[in-house]
C-alpha cells in the first residue's frame, strides 16, 4: 500500500525538531531509522500530518564518556553501537543484545533510541537498558528532563515521552568488568523474541557478587528479575546454583499468550533462558 499524504521536515537541530513536533502535537511522527515506522505508514495503521526526519541531527549521534557515565546518542545506529569500543568496554550487555537485532540491513538503518522509544515488548534493547539502570534524556518545549528506564516504559508500545518530546540520548553507569550475555528464543532467524533474557553479573572468587537481569516479552514492558538477582548473590557460579536461582524468573511477570507461545510456555522459557544467560555470563 501507499502511505497517506503527509508533510515532511528534516531539521538539523534538536530545537528545530522539537518546534516542529510542538506545532503538530499528536499529529506528528518522528522518523529515526524508520524500520518500525515505515511499514506502519505503508499499511496505513498510522496517518500523521507531519513526519519529522531526525537523520540530519548530528548532535544525536555517537557514543561518549561523561565521567562515570556512558552516553549513547539516540540516533546512533545499531551497527555503530555494536562496533563501538566504549560500549563493548563499559556496557557489554548492550553490544551483545544489539548483535541479535534483526539482520545487518536493519542494524545499519535502525537506531538505538528509535528502538527504545518504539517500546515493543518483544524488542531486544529495552530489557538490557532496564537491567543496566539506563536513563533516558528527553527534550521538549519545556526543556530537558531525565527519566529512568524503570519509569520510561509504561505499557505496550507506550513510553513516558510527551507528544512534543524527543529522546535525545541514553545515559547509563559504566559496568566495566561485568560479564554479560543476552539469550533469546525465536522460532525463525531474525524474528522477534518469544522470550529474551539480558544478564550481567560481577563474579569475585568464583562467586556471584552482583547480578542484573532483565526479561524481554514477559509483560507489556521489560521486567527486572529481582528475585533471580537476590537469589544469585553470594552463590557459586555453578550450573546447580544458577538453575536454582533461575526458578525465580517468573516472579513479578505478566506474560501473554499469542500465536507464538502460551503463558505456560513463556514462563518455562523465562526460567530456562535465565539459567542459560547467567551461566554463560558467569563462566564465559
Report pLDDT digits (tens) over 18-52: 999 999 999 999 999 999 999 999 999 999 999 99
Average pLDDT over residues 74-94: 98
Q: What pLDDT sits at residue 188?
A: 79
> Domain holding 46: CATH number?
3.30.43.10
Buried b (16+ CB within 10 A) or exposed e, 212-246: bbbbbbbbbbbbbbebbbebbeebebeeebbbebb
Q: What pLDDT sits at residue 191?
A: 77
Residue 1 forms part of a structural domain: no
Domain that holds residue 30: 7-53
Give the model confidence (pLDDT) of 144-200 as tens digits. 999 999 999 999 999 999 989 999 999 999 999 999 999 999 987 667 899 999 999
Average pLDDT over residues 214-230: 98
Q: What pLDDT sits at residue 263?
A: 98
Q: What pLDDT sits at residue 256?
A: 96
For the ranges 189-193, 208-212, 278-282, which has the lowest average pLDDT? 189-193
Tell me the average pLDDT of the chain: 96
Residue 113 forms part of a structural domain: yes
Residue 208 forms part of a structural domain: yes
In a 13 Å sphere around the CA of 76, the CA atoms on its Cβ side amount to 22
Give Cβ neighbours of residue 34 (< 8 Å, ≥ 6 apart).
Answer: 109
Question: How many structural domains comprise the chain?
Answer: 3
User: 88 and 163 share a domain?
Assistant: yes
User: 26 and 98 share a domain?
Assistant: no
Cβ atoms of 214 and 127 closer than 8 Å: yes
Average pLDDT over residues 3-21: 97
Residue 2 forms part of a structural domain: no
User: 207 and 158 share a domain?
Assistant: no
* Percentage with pLDDT > 90 across the chain: 95
Which candidate, 39, 36, 35, 33, places its Cα nearest to that of 1?
39
User: 76 and 37 share a domain?
Assistant: no
User: 28 and 102 share a domain?
Assistant: no
Final residue belonging to a domain, choices 173, 189, 218: 173
Final residue belonging to a domain, choices 136, 154, 173: 173
Give Cβ neighbours of residue 265 (< 8 Å, ≥ 6 apart).
Answer: none
User: 164 and 185 share a domain?
Assistant: no
- Classify 159 as helix, strand or coil: strand
Give the model confidence (pLDDT) of 90-115 as tens digits. 999 999 999 999 999 999 999 999 99
Average pLDDT over residues 225-243: 98
User: 130 and 98 share a domain?
Assistant: yes
User: 168 and 91 share a domain?
Assistant: yes
Report in angstroms the alpha-carbon separations of 235 from 229, 239, 251, 276, 279: 11, 11, 19, 16, 12
Residue 256 forms part of a structural domain: yes
Average pLDDT over residues 76-92: 98
Q: What pLDDT sits at residue 190?
A: 62
User: 163 and 107 share a domain?
Assistant: yes
Q: What pLDDT sits at residue 223?
A: 98
Which candidate, 139, 153, 279, 135, places its Cα nearest to that of 221?
153
Buried b (16+ CB within 10 A) or exposed e, 173-209: ebbeebbbbbbbbbeeeeebbbbbbbbbbbbeeebbe
What is the DSSP annotation of 98-123?
HTTSS-HHHHHH-BHHHHHHHT-TT-
Residue 232 forms part of a structural domain: yes
User: 42 and 73 share a domain?
Assistant: no
User: 117 and 42 share a domain?
Assistant: no
> Domain holding 98: CATH number?
3.30.465.10
pTM for the complete prediction? 0.97
Residue 86 forms part of a structural domain: yes
User: 42 and 89 share a domain?
Assistant: no
Q: What is the DSSP letter of 217?
A: S
- Classify 206 as helix, strand or coil: coil
> Domain holding 207: CATH number?
3.30.390.50
Final residue belonging to a domain, choices 173, 204, 229: 173
Amino acid at each position: 500500500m501507499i502511505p497517506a499524504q503527509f508533510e515532511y521536515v528534516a531539521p538539523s537541530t534538536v530545537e528545530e525538531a522539537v518546534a516542529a513536533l510542538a506545532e503538530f502535537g499528536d499529529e506528528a511522527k518522528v522518523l529515526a531509522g524508520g524500520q518500525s515506522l515505515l511499514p506502519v505508514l505503508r499499511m496505513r495503521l498510522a496517518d500523521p500530518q507531519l513526519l519529522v526526519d531526525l537523520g540530519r541531527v548530528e548532535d544525536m549521534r555517537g557514543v561518549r564518556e561523561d565521567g562515570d557515565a556512558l552516553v549513547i546518542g539516540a540516533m546512533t545506529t545499531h551497527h555503530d553501537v555494536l562496533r563501538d569500543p566504549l560500549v563493548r568496554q563499559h556496557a557489554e550487555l548492550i553490544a551483545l543484545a544489539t548483535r541479535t537485532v534483526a539482520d545487518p540491513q536493519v542494524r545499519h538503518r535502525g537506531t538505538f533510541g528509535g528502538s527504545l522509544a518504539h517500546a515493543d515488548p518483544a524488542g531486544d534493547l529495552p530489557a538490557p537498558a532496564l537491567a543496566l539502570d539506563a536513563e533516558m534524556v528527553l527534550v521538549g518545549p519545556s526543556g530537558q528532563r531525565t527519566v529512568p528506564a524503570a519509569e520510561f516504559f509504561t505499557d505496550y508500545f507506550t513510553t513516558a515521552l510527551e507528544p512534543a518530546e524527543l529522546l535525545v540520548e541514553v545515559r547509563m553507569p559504566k559496568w566495566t568488568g561485568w560479564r554479560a550475555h543476552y539469550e533469546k528464543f525465536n522460532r525463525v532467524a531474525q524474528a522477534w523474541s518469544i522470550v529474551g533474557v539480558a544478564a550481567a553479573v560481577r563474579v569475585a572468587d568464583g562467586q556471584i557478587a552482583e547480578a542484573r537481569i532483565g526479561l524481554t516479552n514477559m509483560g507489556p514492558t521489560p521486567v527486572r528479575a529481582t528475585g533471580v538477582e537476590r537469589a544469585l548473590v553470594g552463590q557459586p557460579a555453578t550450573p546447580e546454583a544458577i538453575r536454582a536461582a533461575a526458578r525465580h524468573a517468573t516472579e513479578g511477570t505478566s506474560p501473554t499468550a499469542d500465536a507464538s507461545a502460551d503463558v505456560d510456555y513463556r514462563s518455562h522459557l523465562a526460567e530456562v533462558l535465565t539459567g542459560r544467560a547467567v551461566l554463560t555470563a558467569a563462566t564465559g
